[in-house]
Amino acid sequence: MSLTVLVVGSGGREHALAVALSRDPGVASVHVAPGNPGTWAVSSQYGVSTGSPLWTRISSVDPLDGEQVASLARELGAGLVVIGPEAPLVAGVADRVRAAGIPCFGPSAEAARLEGSKQFAKEVMAAAAVPTARSRYCETAEQAESALDEFGPPYVVKDDHLAAGKGVVVTTDRAEALAHAIACRQVVIEEYLDGPEVSLFVICDGVRGIPLLPAQDFKRVGDADTGPNTGGMGAYCPLPWVPEGFVTHVMDTVVDPVLAEMNSRGTPFQGLLYAGLALTSQGVRVVEFNARFGDPETEAVLPLLQSGLGQVLYAAATGSLTDIPELTWDDASSVVVIWAADGYPGTVAKGGRIAIPALDDNATVIHCGTALDDQGGLVSHGGRVLAVVAQGSDLTAARDNVYQAVDRIDFPTGFHRHDIAQRAAAGLIPTPPIQGQ
């Protein structure tokens, strides 16, 4: 097989997907559109040591325009299109690409509602008897007040629309919770779930799913999980503390029932089902679903995959995952640390200068929000700017490697967390039950 792949998107997830796809001997070329300076670079000039010479620079495509994406795929002779972010999926770009007869990895607009509407996800979970937090859908201040009082603190208030990971407020301050509910208008208010969170990515062909290694994301902006929620400040994989049988349990109680429910609705889920899970004292509960690879977990998970990613995504896009042998993984650990721009997750200034030296082979810099200035210099162009990724024989080694690389990057107007994977590496996360106590 000699596959040409078009990856749609311009963030860290798409850059990481492109790096992983270029390692697949069955993939002849990878194009990322619109891409970013990381995916455009074929040298190590911007810190991309694994950039494939097969990549090309394409920047003139609107990822939200299905016709544009389909015609670019046709022009490139792409045998597979991979849609990275949620916005094009919710806008139906995968439907357009499939309608043009091109295999596409990414759910239809209908199936992407699992991410696009928190309330829709709750309905599907209720119909499929999938364990999740009890919740109320609220459209008025009165409804919100009554839901807040029903569940009590800590309060969890979720915007019912896409909000780039920033629509959720978790707080013990009732006034703050109510203000968020009023500002968002349509919200889901739910009970608070205690226990560590796990992100499980499952590659789905509409009928069955193949899970990747579980990962953990760090959502809060500050060390020791302080400050507001972000899109994710770091991640690691695998998780030494998850109970035995965890992945099988989640496939049986969460993923398979959801795939069956989506099928019975006539809207099969083909693409990446991302289950955000809380391992509570009552057992595993779904925190949320996403319809695409998570960022930055993808940057940590994919480097450990030995199997060819292109083959697996192609099989999912063509409904033939049964043909895929069991995935194989490196017996190593992987840690990713995000360099964010000052002010994130609030308003950030663009244009902060960044210098990335040549790094050792065991560290990679993935570009999330960068741009080139008029002189061709690398500058920041978003909240999350770079994802620094490294592997090691265990989490301690991977942390040492990644923080050495993080410290060598010069980004005066940026910051990062210092404690990604620290508690897990020190063995401080107790193994929770999966069935409840």
| Interface contacts to ligand AMP, rule CB under 6 A | 133, 156, 158, 168, 170, 190, 192-193, 197, 219, 229, 276, 287-288
Q: Smallest distance, Å, CB 190 to ligand AMP?
A: 5
Spatial separation of the C-alpha atoms in residues 18 and 22, rounded to whole Å: 6
Which residue has the CB atom at the shortest distance from ligand AMP?
288
121 contacts which partner out of ligand AMP, ligand GLY, none, CB within 5 to 8 A by kind? Answer: none
295 contacts which partner out of ligand AMP, ligand GLY, none, CB within 5 to 8 A by kind? Answer: ligand GLY
Residue type, 141: A
Q: Smallest distance, Å, CB 94 to ligand AMP?
A: 21
232 contacts which partner out of ligand GLY, ligand AMP, none, CB within 5 to 8 A by kind? Answer: ligand GLY
Q: Which stretch binds ligand GLY (CB under 6 A): 122-130, 204-212, 294-302, 390-398?
A: 294-302
Q: Is 297 in the site for ligand GLY (CB under 6 A)?
A: yes
Q: Smallest distance, Å, CB 123 to ligand AMP?
A: 15
148 contacts which partner out of ligand GLY, ligand AMP, none, CB within 5 to 8 A by kind? Answer: none
Output the CA angle 351-7-124, nearest 5 degrees. 105
The nearer residue to ligand GLY, 160 or 217, going by C-beta atoms, is 217
The nearer residue to ligand AMP, 133 or 348, going by C-beta atoms, is 133
Instruction: Extract the runs of DSSP E, i.e. beta strands, from 291-382.
Output: 333-341, 363-367, 370-372, 378-380
Q: Is 294 in the site for ligand GLY (CB under 6 A)?
A: yes
| DSSP assignments along 63-121, one per residue | TT-HHHHHHHHHHHT-SEEEE-SHHHHHTTHHHHHHHTT--EES--TTTTHHHH-HHHH
65: exposed, middle or buried (C-beta count within 10 Å: 0-12, 13-18, 19+)?
Answer: middle
Q: What is the DSSP letter of 433?
A: P
The nearer residue to ligand AMP, 170 or 207, going by C-beta atoms, is 170
Q: Is 382 in the site for ligand GLY (CB under 6 A)?
A: no
The nearer residue to ligand GLY, 14 or 217, going by C-beta atoms, is 217
Considering Cα of 86, then 386, then 18, then 33, what sign does the dihedral take? Answer: positive
Spatial separation of the C-alpha atoms in residues 394 and 74, rounded to whole Å: 43
Q: Smallest distance, Å, CB 115 to ligand GLY?
A: 9
Q: Smallest distance, Å, CB 416 to ligand GLY?
A: 16
Element (H, E) at 310: helix 309-317
Of 93, 123, 127, 121, nearest to 107 by C-alpha is 93
- Report the site for ligand GLY in 225-284 (rule: CB under 6 A): 231-232
297 contacts which partner out of ligand AMP, ligand GLY, none, CB within 5 to 8 A by kind? Answer: ligand GLY
Tell me if 19 sits within 8 A of 329, measured CB to CB.
no
Site map (CB under 6 A) of ligand GLY, residues 273-292, x = contact: -----------------x--
Q: Is 36 in the site for ligand GLY (CB under 6 A)?
A: no
Spatial separation of the C-alpha atoms in residues 232 and 337, rounded to whole Å: 9
Which residue reads 């915007």 in tokens?
Answer: 159
Q: Which residues, in sequence order, are CB contacts of 280 under 8 Å at separation 6+?
A: 193, 194, 195, 432, 436
From the list 110, 205, 295, 299, which residue makes contact with ligand GLY (rule: CB under 6 A)? 295
* CB half-sphere exposure, 39, CA atoms < 13 A: 32
Q: Is 217 in the site for ligand GLY (CB under 6 A)?
A: yes
Q: Smallest distance, Å, CB 326 to ligand GLY?
A: 26
What is the C-alpha R_g of the chain?
A: 21
The nearer residue to ligand GLY, 231 or 352, going by C-beta atoms, is 231
Q: How far is CA 246 from CA 100, 345, 415, in A?
A: 39, 32, 34
Residue type, 122: K
From the list 165, 211, 234, 414, which residue makes contact with ligand GLY (rule: CB under 6 A)? 165
CB atoms within 10 A of CB 411: 22
Element (H, E) at 28: strand 27-34
Q: Smallest distance, Å, CB 285 to ligand GLY?
A: 17
137 contacts which partner out of ligand AMP, ligand GLY, none, CB within 5 to 8 A by kind? Answer: none
Spatial separation of the C-alpha atoms in residues 299 and 20, rounded to whole Å: 9
Spatial separation of the C-alpha atoms in residues 429 and 161, rounded to whole Å: 33
Which residue reads 């770079």 in tokens?
Answer: 386
Report the SS3 class of residue 8: strand
Q: Phi and psi of 237, rounded to 5°?
A: -165, 145
The nearer residue to ligand GLY, 70 or 198, going by C-beta atoms, is 198
Q: Is 216 in the site for ligand GLY (CB under 6 A)?
A: no
The nearer residue to ligand AMP, 95 or 190, going by C-beta atoms, is 190
Q: Smallest distance, Å, CB 202 to ligand AMP?
A: 16
Binding site for ligand GLY (CB under 6 A): 165, 217, 231-232, 290, 294-295, 297
